[in-house]
Structure 1
Amino acid sequence: MSNQAITDGVNVGQLPTGDFTDSDVVRIEFGQQAASLASKMHSIAVMLCEDQAVAGDYLAAALQAQHSLEFNLIRSAVVAERVRGTSWKEIGRQLLLTAAEAKQQWDRHVTDWQRTSPAHSCYRKNPGGGTPNP
Protein backbone atom coordinates (compact mmCIF):
# COMPACT_ATOMS: atom_id res chain seq x y z
CA MET A 1 0.00 0.00 0.00
CA SER A 2 1.37 3.44 -0.86
CA ASN A 3 1.81 6.21 1.67
CA GLN A 4 -0.75 8.21 -0.30
CA ALA A 5 -3.36 5.54 0.33
CA ILE A 6 -2.61 5.69 4.03
CA THR A 7 -3.24 9.43 4.47
CA ASP A 8 -5.74 10.25 1.72
CA GLY A 9 -9.20 10.70 3.13
CA VAL A 10 -8.17 10.12 6.76
CA ASN A 11 -10.11 12.28 9.17
CA VAL A 12 -7.91 12.36 12.25
CA GLY A 13 -10.92 13.27 14.37
CA GLN A 14 -12.43 9.88 13.55
CA LEU A 15 -9.40 7.71 14.34
CA PRO A 16 -10.11 4.95 16.87
CA THR A 17 -9.41 6.15 20.38
CA GLY A 18 -6.36 4.66 22.02
CA ASP A 19 -4.78 3.46 18.79
CA PHE A 20 -2.73 6.52 17.84
CA THR A 21 -0.15 8.65 19.62
CA ASP A 22 0.23 12.40 19.28
CA SER A 23 3.13 11.67 16.95
CA ASP A 24 1.00 9.37 14.78
CA VAL A 25 -1.74 11.96 14.39
CA VAL A 26 0.59 14.87 13.65
CA ARG A 27 2.50 12.79 11.08
CA ILE A 28 -0.76 11.94 9.29
CA GLU A 29 -1.72 15.63 9.24
CA PHE A 30 1.75 16.62 7.96
CA GLY A 31 1.50 13.97 5.23
CA GLN A 32 -1.89 15.32 4.19
CA GLN A 33 -0.47 18.84 3.89
CA ALA A 34 2.45 17.55 1.80
CA ALA A 35 0.05 15.61 -0.46
CA SER A 36 -2.14 18.70 -0.87
CA LEU A 37 0.84 20.80 -1.91
CA ALA A 38 1.98 18.10 -4.33
CA SER A 39 -1.49 18.09 -5.89
CA LYS A 40 -1.33 21.88 -6.33
CA MET A 41 2.08 21.58 -7.95
CA HIS A 42 0.74 18.89 -10.28
CA SER A 43 -2.08 21.22 -11.33
CA ILE A 44 0.50 23.87 -12.21
CA ALA A 45 2.43 21.35 -14.32
CA VAL A 46 -0.77 20.35 -16.16
CA MET A 47 -1.61 24.00 -16.79
CA LEU A 48 1.86 24.57 -18.26
CA CYS A 49 1.82 21.43 -20.39
CA GLU A 50 -1.61 22.04 -21.80
CA ASP A 51 -1.10 25.81 -22.17
CA GLN A 52 -4.41 26.48 -20.44
CA ALA A 53 -3.24 29.68 -18.78
CA VAL A 54 -4.43 33.20 -19.35
CA ALA A 55 -2.46 36.29 -18.37
CA GLY A 56 -1.52 36.17 -14.68
CA ASP A 57 -2.32 32.48 -14.15
CA TYR A 58 1.31 31.37 -13.77
CA LEU A 59 2.00 33.92 -11.08
CA ALA A 60 -1.31 33.30 -9.32
CA ALA A 61 -0.66 29.55 -9.23
CA ALA A 62 2.90 30.04 -7.96
CA LEU A 63 1.73 32.42 -5.24
CA GLN A 64 -0.99 30.01 -4.17
CA ALA A 65 1.58 27.20 -3.92
CA GLN A 66 3.93 29.47 -1.97
CA HIS A 67 1.14 30.37 0.44
CA SER A 68 0.26 26.71 0.88
CA LEU A 69 3.89 25.87 1.53
CA GLU A 70 4.47 28.67 3.99
CA PHE A 71 1.23 28.60 5.90
CA ASN A 72 0.21 24.96 5.77
CA LEU A 73 3.15 22.66 5.18
CA ILE A 74 5.70 24.57 7.26
CA ARG A 75 3.17 25.11 10.04
CA SER A 76 2.44 21.37 10.05
CA ALA A 77 6.16 20.62 10.07
CA VAL A 78 6.79 22.91 13.04
CA VAL A 79 3.92 21.33 14.97
CA ALA A 80 5.19 17.85 14.10
CA GLU A 81 8.69 18.77 15.25
CA ARG A 82 7.41 20.12 18.57
CA VAL A 83 5.28 17.02 19.13
CA ARG A 84 8.44 14.95 18.50
CA GLY A 85 10.21 17.00 21.17
CA THR A 86 12.36 19.14 18.88
CA SER A 87 13.61 22.27 20.65
CA TRP A 88 12.78 25.80 19.58
CA LYS A 89 16.53 26.28 19.12
CA GLU A 90 16.66 23.54 16.46
CA ILE A 91 13.45 24.73 14.80
CA GLY A 92 14.83 28.26 14.75
CA ARG A 93 18.10 27.01 13.26
CA GLN A 94 16.20 25.35 10.40
CA LEU A 95 14.10 28.49 9.82
CA LEU A 96 17.10 30.84 10.15
CA LEU A 97 15.61 32.35 13.32
CA THR A 98 16.63 32.47 16.95
CA ALA A 99 14.86 30.11 19.32
CA ALA A 100 12.90 33.05 20.74
CA GLU A 101 11.87 34.25 17.27
CA ALA A 102 10.79 30.75 16.23
CA LYS A 103 8.76 30.32 19.40
CA GLN A 104 7.16 33.74 19.02
CA GLN A 105 6.22 33.09 15.38
CA TRP A 106 5.05 29.47 15.64
CA ASP A 107 4.11 28.63 19.24
CA ARG A 108 0.48 29.68 18.82
CA HIS A 109 0.11 27.12 16.02
CA VAL A 110 1.48 24.40 18.29
CA THR A 111 -0.87 25.50 21.07
CA ASP A 112 -3.83 25.54 18.65
CA TRP A 113 -2.97 22.01 17.48
CA GLN A 114 -2.68 20.77 21.05
CA ARG A 115 -6.02 22.36 21.95
CA THR A 116 -7.92 20.99 18.96
CA SER A 117 -6.22 17.70 18.17
CA PRO A 118 -8.00 14.51 19.07
CA ALA A 119 -4.56 13.18 20.00
CA HIS A 120 -4.80 15.06 23.27
CA SER A 121 -7.83 13.13 24.37
CA CYS A 122 -7.31 11.27 27.63
CA TYR A 123 -7.97 8.12 25.61
CA ARG A 124 -4.91 8.55 23.36
CA LYS A 125 -1.58 6.86 23.94
CA ASN A 126 1.33 9.20 24.56
CA PRO A 127 4.37 6.99 24.97
CA GLY A 128 6.79 9.89 25.50
CA GLY A 129 4.56 11.33 28.15
CA GLY A 130 6.39 14.63 28.43
CA THR A 131 6.31 18.02 26.88
CA PRO A 132 8.67 19.00 24.07
CA ASN A 133 12.07 20.48 24.77
CA PRO A 134 12.12 24.26 25.33
Structure 2
Amino acid sequence: MLLTRESVIRLMCDAASMTTATPYDDDRARFSRRALARLVLCDQARGLSDAAAGLAVTRYDEFCGAGGRVSEAAAVAGHADRLVTAAVVYERERGSSWADIGRYLHLGAAAAQQRFGSAVQQWRSAFDVPYRLDEQGRKRVPQLPTAAYDPVSAIRRLDLWADVRLGFDDRHAVSGGLQPDPDGEEQEEEQGWPETVGTELDGRIRLAQRGVFLDLLSEYALHRPADRARDVVARAMQGGGEGGGGWYTYTMDGIFETLDVRLAVDGDLVSVVVAGAHSPVLRLQVATLLDAFA
Protein backbone atom coordinates (compact mmCIF):
# COMPACT_ATOMS: atom_id res chain seq x y z
CA MET A 1 0.00 0.00 0.00
CA LEU A 2 1.46 3.35 -1.08
CA LEU A 3 1.03 6.10 1.50
CA THR A 4 0.61 9.70 0.43
CA ARG A 5 2.55 12.52 2.06
CA GLU A 6 -0.62 13.62 3.86
CA SER A 7 -1.17 10.12 5.23
CA VAL A 8 2.39 9.93 6.55
CA ILE A 9 2.03 13.31 8.28
CA ARG A 10 -1.27 12.23 9.81
CA LEU A 11 0.25 9.01 11.14
CA MET A 12 3.21 10.91 12.57
CA CYS A 13 0.86 13.39 14.25
CA ASP A 14 -1.22 10.60 15.76
CA ALA A 15 1.92 8.89 17.07
CA ALA A 16 3.21 12.11 18.58
CA SER A 17 -0.17 12.78 20.13
CA MET A 18 -0.02 9.46 21.92
CA THR A 19 3.59 9.57 23.12
CA THR A 20 4.73 13.17 23.62
CA ALA A 21 4.31 14.80 27.01
CA THR A 22 1.95 17.76 27.06
CA PRO A 23 2.93 21.17 28.49
CA TYR A 24 0.53 21.02 31.43
CA ASP A 25 0.76 17.38 32.49
CA ASP A 26 2.17 18.19 35.92
CA ASP A 27 -0.48 20.85 36.55
CA ARG A 28 -3.31 18.48 35.63
CA ALA A 29 -1.82 15.75 37.82
CA ARG A 30 -2.53 17.87 40.91
CA PHE A 31 -6.26 17.44 40.40
CA SER A 32 -8.70 14.59 40.28
CA ARG A 33 -10.73 14.24 37.10
CA ARG A 34 -13.78 15.25 39.11
CA ALA A 35 -12.07 18.48 40.21
CA LEU A 36 -11.13 19.29 36.61
CA ALA A 37 -14.72 18.72 35.50
CA ARG A 38 -15.87 21.12 38.21
CA LEU A 39 -13.32 23.68 37.02
CA VAL A 40 -14.68 23.43 33.47
CA LEU A 41 -18.18 23.98 34.86
CA CYS A 42 -16.90 27.08 36.70
CA ASP A 43 -15.41 28.42 33.48
CA GLN A 44 -18.62 27.83 31.53
CA ALA A 45 -20.61 29.62 34.26
CA ARG A 46 -18.26 32.60 33.97
CA GLY A 47 -18.71 32.63 30.21
CA LEU A 48 -22.49 32.61 30.51
CA SER A 49 -22.42 35.39 33.11
CA ASP A 50 -20.21 37.61 30.97
CA ALA A 51 -22.27 36.94 27.85
CA ALA A 52 -25.56 37.74 29.59
CA ALA A 53 -24.25 40.91 31.27
CA GLY A 54 -24.21 42.85 28.00
CA LEU A 55 -27.94 42.34 27.51
CA ALA A 56 -28.66 44.14 30.78
CA VAL A 57 -27.24 47.43 29.46
CA THR A 58 -29.61 49.70 27.50
CA ARG A 59 -27.42 52.73 26.84
CA TYR A 60 -26.19 51.53 23.45
CA ASP A 61 -29.45 50.08 22.12
CA GLU A 62 -29.71 52.78 19.45
CA PHE A 63 -26.48 51.53 17.88
CA CYS A 64 -27.70 47.94 17.70
CA GLY A 65 -28.86 46.81 14.26
CA ALA A 66 -32.17 45.13 13.55
CA GLY A 67 -32.34 41.80 15.33
CA GLY A 68 -29.06 42.46 17.12
CA ARG A 69 -30.33 41.74 20.60
CA VAL A 70 -31.80 38.46 19.38
CA SER A 71 -28.35 37.55 18.11
CA GLU A 72 -26.88 38.31 21.53
CA ALA A 73 -29.62 36.35 23.29
CA ALA A 74 -29.00 33.38 20.99
CA ALA A 75 -25.32 33.51 21.89
CA VAL A 76 -26.26 33.46 25.57
CA ALA A 77 -28.50 30.45 24.92
CA GLY A 78 -25.52 28.71 23.32
CA HIS A 79 -23.48 29.39 26.44
CA ALA A 80 -26.33 27.96 28.52
CA ASP A 81 -26.32 24.75 26.46
CA ARG A 82 -22.57 24.36 27.01
CA LEU A 83 -23.06 25.05 30.71
CA VAL A 84 -25.64 22.25 31.00
CA THR A 85 -23.33 19.84 29.19
CA ALA A 86 -20.46 20.75 31.52
CA ALA A 87 -22.76 20.21 34.51
CA VAL A 88 -23.72 16.76 33.22
CA VAL A 89 -20.06 15.79 32.76
CA TYR A 90 -19.30 16.95 36.29
CA GLU A 91 -22.25 15.08 37.76
CA ARG A 92 -21.16 11.89 36.01
CA GLU A 93 -17.64 12.32 37.42
CA ARG A 94 -19.26 12.95 40.79
CA GLY A 95 -21.06 9.62 40.56
CA SER A 96 -24.59 10.77 39.72
CA SER A 97 -26.64 8.28 37.72
CA TRP A 98 -28.31 9.06 34.42
CA ALA A 99 -31.62 8.87 36.26
CA ASP A 100 -30.41 11.50 38.75
CA ILE A 101 -29.37 13.79 35.89
CA GLY A 102 -32.44 13.21 33.75
CA ARG A 103 -34.79 14.02 36.62
CA TYR A 104 -33.80 17.70 36.49
CA LEU A 105 -33.93 17.84 32.71
CA HIS A 106 -37.35 16.20 32.47
CA LEU A 107 -35.77 13.22 30.73
CA GLY A 108 -35.67 9.54 31.46
CA ALA A 109 -32.34 7.89 32.19
CA ALA A 110 -32.03 6.44 28.69
CA ALA A 111 -32.91 9.75 27.03
CA ALA A 112 -30.40 11.65 29.18
CA GLN A 113 -27.66 9.17 28.31
CA GLN A 114 -28.52 9.34 24.63
CA ARG A 115 -28.37 13.14 24.69
CA PHE A 116 -25.19 13.61 26.74
CA GLY A 117 -23.40 10.26 26.62
CA SER A 118 -21.13 11.22 23.74
CA ALA A 119 -20.01 14.40 25.54
CA VAL A 120 -19.09 12.39 28.64
CA GLN A 121 -17.22 9.84 26.53
CA GLN A 122 -15.35 12.58 24.67
CA TRP A 123 -14.36 14.15 27.99
CA ARG A 124 -12.97 10.90 29.34
CA SER A 125 -11.19 9.95 26.13
CA ALA A 126 -9.39 13.30 26.10
CA PHE A 127 -7.41 12.30 29.19
CA ASP A 128 -5.77 9.53 27.17
CA VAL A 129 -4.92 11.96 24.36
CA PRO A 130 -5.03 15.50 25.84
CA TYR A 131 -3.98 17.05 22.53
CA ARG A 132 -3.34 16.20 18.91
CA LEU A 133 -1.03 17.89 16.47
CA ASP A 134 -2.43 19.78 13.51
CA GLU A 135 -2.03 18.52 9.95
CA GLN A 136 1.38 20.17 9.66
CA GLY A 137 2.54 18.46 12.84
CA ARG A 138 3.49 21.75 14.47
CA LYS A 139 0.65 23.12 16.59
CA ARG A 140 -0.93 21.34 19.54
CA VAL A 141 -4.73 21.21 19.40
CA PRO A 142 -6.11 20.50 22.91
CA GLN A 143 -8.80 17.84 23.13
CA LEU A 144 -9.71 18.85 26.68
CA PRO A 145 -11.58 22.08 27.44
CA THR A 146 -9.13 24.91 28.06
CA ALA A 147 -9.83 25.09 31.80
CA ALA A 148 -8.98 21.40 32.23
CA TYR A 149 -6.03 21.46 29.83
CA ASP A 150 -4.33 24.38 31.63
CA PRO A 151 -5.95 24.39 35.09
CA VAL A 152 -3.47 26.67 36.86
CA SER A 153 -4.12 29.60 34.52
CA ALA A 154 -7.86 28.93 34.67
CA ILE A 155 -7.87 28.90 38.46
CA ARG A 156 -5.97 32.17 38.71
CA ARG A 157 -8.33 33.82 36.23
CA LEU A 158 -11.51 32.45 37.82
CA ASP A 159 -10.51 33.26 41.40
CA LEU A 160 -9.85 36.85 40.38
CA TRP A 161 -13.09 37.01 38.38
CA ALA A 162 -15.12 35.78 41.36
CA ASP A 163 -13.39 38.26 43.65
CA VAL A 164 -14.04 41.24 41.36
CA ARG A 165 -17.37 40.42 39.74
CA LEU A 166 -19.15 38.52 42.51
CA GLY A 167 -17.78 40.42 45.49
CA PHE A 168 -16.81 37.38 47.53
CA ASP A 169 -14.45 38.19 50.38
CA ASP A 170 -12.48 35.09 49.49
CA ARG A 171 -9.37 35.01 47.33
CA HIS A 172 -10.00 31.32 46.58
CA ALA A 173 -13.74 31.36 45.97
CA VAL A 174 -13.33 29.02 43.00
CA SER A 175 -10.18 27.07 43.83
CA GLY A 176 -11.00 26.60 47.51
CA GLY A 177 -13.46 23.78 46.86
CA LEU A 178 -11.51 21.96 44.17
CA GLN A 179 -10.39 19.18 46.46
CA PRO A 180 -10.72 15.51 45.51
CA ASP A 181 -13.54 13.41 46.88
CA PRO A 182 -12.49 12.14 50.34
CA ASP A 183 -14.09 8.82 49.40
CA GLY A 184 -12.12 8.67 46.16
CA GLU A 185 -9.06 6.62 45.36
CA GLU A 186 -6.00 6.98 47.55
CA GLN A 187 -3.79 8.42 44.82
CA GLU A 188 -6.14 11.37 44.49
CA GLU A 189 -5.97 12.39 48.14
CA GLU A 190 -2.94 14.62 47.68
CA GLN A 191 -4.36 16.38 44.65
CA GLY A 192 -6.01 19.76 44.68
CA TRP A 193 -5.00 23.38 44.40
CA PRO A 194 -1.98 24.52 46.44
CA GLU A 195 -2.40 27.74 48.37
CA THR A 196 -1.02 30.90 46.78
CA VAL A 197 1.76 32.48 48.82
CA GLY A 198 1.10 36.12 49.68
CA THR A 199 0.07 38.37 46.83
CA GLU A 200 2.64 37.21 44.29
CA LEU A 201 1.68 36.71 40.67
CA ASP A 202 4.21 35.29 38.25
CA GLY A 203 4.69 34.38 34.63
CA ARG A 204 7.01 34.58 31.65
CA ILE A 205 6.83 37.23 28.96
CA ARG A 206 8.74 37.82 25.74
CA LEU A 207 11.85 39.98 26.13
CA ALA A 208 10.87 42.12 23.15
CA GLN A 209 7.66 43.12 24.94
CA ARG A 210 9.17 43.84 28.35
CA GLY A 211 8.96 47.60 27.84
CA VAL A 212 5.29 47.60 26.85
CA PHE A 213 4.50 45.26 29.74
CA LEU A 214 6.17 47.61 32.24
CA ASP A 215 4.46 50.66 30.73
CA LEU A 216 1.03 49.08 31.17
CA LEU A 217 1.86 47.79 34.63
CA SER A 218 2.93 51.30 35.65
CA GLU A 219 -0.40 52.66 34.42
CA TYR A 220 -2.38 50.09 36.37
CA ALA A 221 -0.33 50.74 39.53
CA LEU A 222 -0.70 54.54 39.09
CA HIS A 223 3.09 54.76 39.15
CA ARG A 224 4.43 58.05 37.69
CA PRO A 225 8.24 58.01 37.87
CA ALA A 226 10.53 60.69 36.45
CA ASP A 227 12.16 58.02 34.28
CA ARG A 228 9.98 55.42 32.62
CA ALA A 229 10.06 52.01 34.25
CA ARG A 230 11.04 50.37 30.97
CA ASP A 231 14.14 52.59 30.67
CA VAL A 232 15.24 52.12 34.29
CA VAL A 233 14.84 48.35 34.10
CA ALA A 234 16.56 48.07 30.70
CA ARG A 235 19.60 50.00 31.91
CA ALA A 236 19.83 48.03 35.15
CA MET A 237 19.43 44.62 33.56
CA GLN A 238 22.07 45.32 30.95
CA GLY A 239 24.49 45.22 33.84
CA GLY A 240 23.38 41.74 34.88
CA GLY A 241 20.69 42.65 37.38
CA GLU A 242 21.06 42.30 41.11
CA GLY A 243 20.69 39.44 43.53
CA GLY A 244 21.15 35.74 42.83
CA GLY A 245 20.33 34.28 39.46
CA GLY A 246 20.38 37.62 37.63
CA TRP A 247 17.14 38.87 39.19
CA TYR A 248 16.45 42.58 39.23
CA THR A 249 13.82 44.20 41.47
CA TYR A 250 12.01 47.37 40.47
CA THR A 251 9.60 49.05 42.89
CA MET A 252 6.51 50.81 41.56
CA ASP A 253 5.26 53.30 44.14
CA GLY A 254 1.64 53.85 43.17
CA ILE A 255 -0.89 56.20 44.69
CA PHE A 256 -2.69 53.40 46.55
CA GLU A 257 -0.43 50.35 46.34
CA THR A 258 3.27 49.56 45.92
CA LEU A 259 4.38 46.77 43.62
CA ASP A 260 7.71 44.98 43.76
CA VAL A 261 8.47 43.67 40.28
CA ARG A 262 11.24 41.07 39.98
CA LEU A 263 12.59 40.20 36.54
CA ALA A 264 15.19 37.78 35.19
CA VAL A 265 16.14 37.34 31.54
CA ASP A 266 16.36 33.82 30.13
CA GLY A 267 17.16 33.97 26.43
CA ASP A 268 14.22 35.51 24.58
CA LEU A 269 11.98 35.30 27.65
CA VAL A 270 11.74 37.20 30.92
CA SER A 271 10.56 35.61 34.15
CA VAL A 272 8.40 38.08 36.08
CA VAL A 273 7.17 38.04 39.68
CA VAL A 274 4.85 40.84 40.81
CA ALA A 275 4.25 41.20 44.56
CA GLY A 276 2.12 43.69 46.48
CA ALA A 277 -1.09 43.74 44.43
CA HIS A 278 -3.68 43.58 47.21
CA SER A 279 -6.85 44.94 45.63
CA PRO A 280 -8.88 42.49 43.52
CA VAL A 281 -8.96 44.89 40.57
CA LEU A 282 -5.19 45.37 40.48
CA ARG A 283 -4.58 41.64 40.89
CA LEU A 284 -6.89 40.97 37.97
CA GLN A 285 -5.10 43.57 35.86
CA VAL A 286 -1.68 42.11 36.67
CA ALA A 287 -2.83 38.56 35.98
CA THR A 288 -4.40 39.63 32.69
CA LEU A 289 -1.16 41.32 31.64
CA LEU A 290 0.87 38.22 32.43
CA ASP A 291 -1.54 36.05 30.45
CA ALA A 292 -1.64 38.48 27.52
CA PHE A 293 2.14 38.72 27.20
CA ALA A 294 2.87 35.03 27.84
- TM-score bin, normalised by smaller chain: 0.7 to 0.9
- Superposed CA deviations along residues 81-132 of structure 1, whole A, max 9, x for unmatched, are 000000000101011000000001101100000111468xxxxx88624xxx
Determine if the alignment matches structure 1 residue 30 to structure 2 residue 41.
yes
Q: Which runs of 5+ in 1 are unaligned?
A: 1-12, 120-124, 130-134
Alpha-carbon distance in 2 for matches of 1:63, 1:90: 28
The one-letter amino acid of 2:184's match is G
Q: TM-score, structure 1 length as denominator?
A: 0.73
Q: Any residues of structure 2 matched to 1:1-134 within 5 Å, and which?
A: 14=24, 16-46=27-57, 48-51=58-61, 52-70=63-81, 72-117=82-127, 128-129=184-185
The one-letter amino acid of 1:31's match is C
Higher strand share: 2
Answer with 1 or 2: which has the greater Rg.
2
Report the CA distance between 1:17 and its aligned residue: 4.4
The one-letter amino acid of 1:73's match is L
Q: Aligned to 1:31, what secondary structure does the other structure show?
A: helix
Higher helix share: 1
Q: Aligned to 2:29, what secondary structure does the other structure show?
A: coil
Q: Which runs of 5+ in 2 are unaligned?
A: 1-22, 131-147, 149-179, 186-294
Q: How many equivalent residue pairs?
A: 110
Name 2:263's counterpart in structure 1.
Answer: none
Alpha-carbon distance in 2 for matches of 1:17, 1:108: 23
- Superposed CA deviations along residues 23-49 of structure 1, whole A, max 9, x for unmatched, are 110111110000011111112223x33
Change (3 A) 1:50 1:22: same
Alpha-carbon distance in 2 for matches of 1:68, 1:99: 24
The one-letter amino acid of 1:41's match is A
The one-letter amino acid of 1:128's match is G
The alignment yields a C-alpha RMSD, in angstroms, of: 2.2
Report the CA distance between 1:50 and its aligned residue: 2.5
Alpha-carbon distance in 2 for matches of 1:60, 1:16: 37
Change (3 A) 1:80 1:58: same
Alpha-carbon distance in 1 for matches of 2:83, 2:28: 26
Q: TM-score, structure 2 length as denominator?
A: 0.35
Alpha-carbon distance in 1 for matches of 2:88, 2:59: 34
Name 2:271's counterpart in structure 1.
Answer: none
- Identity percentage over the alignment? 32
Name 2:240's counterpart in structure 1.
Answer: none
Name 1:4's counterpart in structure 2.
Answer: none
| Segment of structure 1 superposing worse, 94-103 or 51-60 | 51-60
Alpha-carbon distance in 1 for matches of 2:64, 2:88: 34
